[in-house]
Amino acid sequence: MDINHIQSAHCESGVIVNMLAYNGLKLSEPMIFGIGSGIFFIHLPFIEVNGVPVSNFRIWPGGIFSRSMKLIGAKVKTQKFRSVQKSMDVLDELLSKKIPVGVMCSVYYLPYLPDAYRFHFNAHNIVIWAKEGDEYIVGDPTLSEMKRIHKDDLAKARWAKGFPEPAGKLYYVEKMPEDTPELKDAIRRGIKRTLFLIKSAPLPFIGVKGICYLAKKIEKYPEKYSERKALLALGNLIRMQEEIGTGGGGFRFMYAAFLKEASHLLNNEELAKLSQELTGIGDRWRDFAYRVAKIIKNRGSAQDNYQSIARYLEEIGQSEIAFFKKLGKVKL
């Protein structure tokens, strides 16, 4: 197998970039992220992971893969399993046919990662390129070079407990399109689906309005939680924003890069202008993370600290609402 590992900003879109490149189709990561409708927001106060509420800045795991592959005309397969052994046997069979395989796993059980990055997060994506003895050759898109992992460690990572539960999930390309994909149509359809998902959700904690919903929740953290749990909740938020994949700011930067690339392909100057606007919103997300980190570092729990960052997050949310309204008015 001729392996050319491509480092990427985000795990799932990075896996797709590597799979497509192996199969002879070179697309940028922002293009994959954009046509796959990757940008999103959701805050789930009623679901806790590691004892704190869940927030996510991208579409659900697997969504970018299924959507982007559909729009470029590739035939793919995704499987989950009921037994560890079956999941490993199917992986080995695919590798024996020289088919690179994407797997969803927990970063906690990946020994090649530094200890600081190993915690209970079950939606990481990596490419398994080959098997040599009891080890697998791994392409982790967030790293600059390939790694090796023992079969027992990989099995643990693929069968970690918690939310979401990987259940041995794997996915791969069965057949590539015979003709070069029509990216213009994929771009239009990808943007329209993104607008539907991020603007049309009927619940207040889903889509762009969920950002303002979270802001109201943060303002009440000092009343609702102990000092320790309030700080943990803030810490988990910026970890999800800035460390898991590319985070809040990073996902906005990536979608901005997609809009810029799309503006050239569609010859649409409005998309180029909106790309610049979204880059500015991404900068504000990064500034929000910096402000939250200062609160955590100082271990301050004064109400005005939480009120201040809540107001700033509300402003970001209103900026995103306005941005996607403008995007929805662009003639594609």
Residues 274 and 322 occupy one common structural domain: yes
**Of 138, 156, 175, which residue sits at a domain end?**
175
Residues 34 and 162 occupy one common structural domain: yes
Residue 70 domain boundaries: 11-175
Going by their DSSP bridges, the two strands 75-79 and 170-175 should be labelled as antiparallel
Does 86 score more than 60 pLDDT?
yes
Whose CA is closest to 55, among 319, 301, 332, 289? 289
Residue 3 within any structural domain of the chain: no
Residues 46 and 137 occupy one common structural domain: yes
Residues 227 and 307 occupy one common structural domain: yes
Give, as one character, the DSSP assignment of residue 107. G
Residues 169 and 268 occupy one common structural domain: no
**Of 123, 146, 175, which residue sits at a domain end?**
175
pLDDT-based confidence at residue 58 (cuts at 50, 70, 90)? confident
Q: Find the helix or strand (DSSP H, E) in which 212 lies.
A: helix 209-219
Q: How far apart are CA 57 and CA 211, in angstroms?
A: 10
Q: What is the pLDDT of residues 109-126, one digit of tens each?
A: 999 998 877 878 899 999
Return the minimum-mean-pLDDT range out of 101-115, 215-229, 290-304.
290-304
Average pLDDT over residues 89-95: 98
Under 8 Å between Cβ of 251 and 39: yes
Give me the percent of the chain exceeding a pLDDT of 90.
Answer: 74
Report the number of distinct structural domains present in the chain.
2
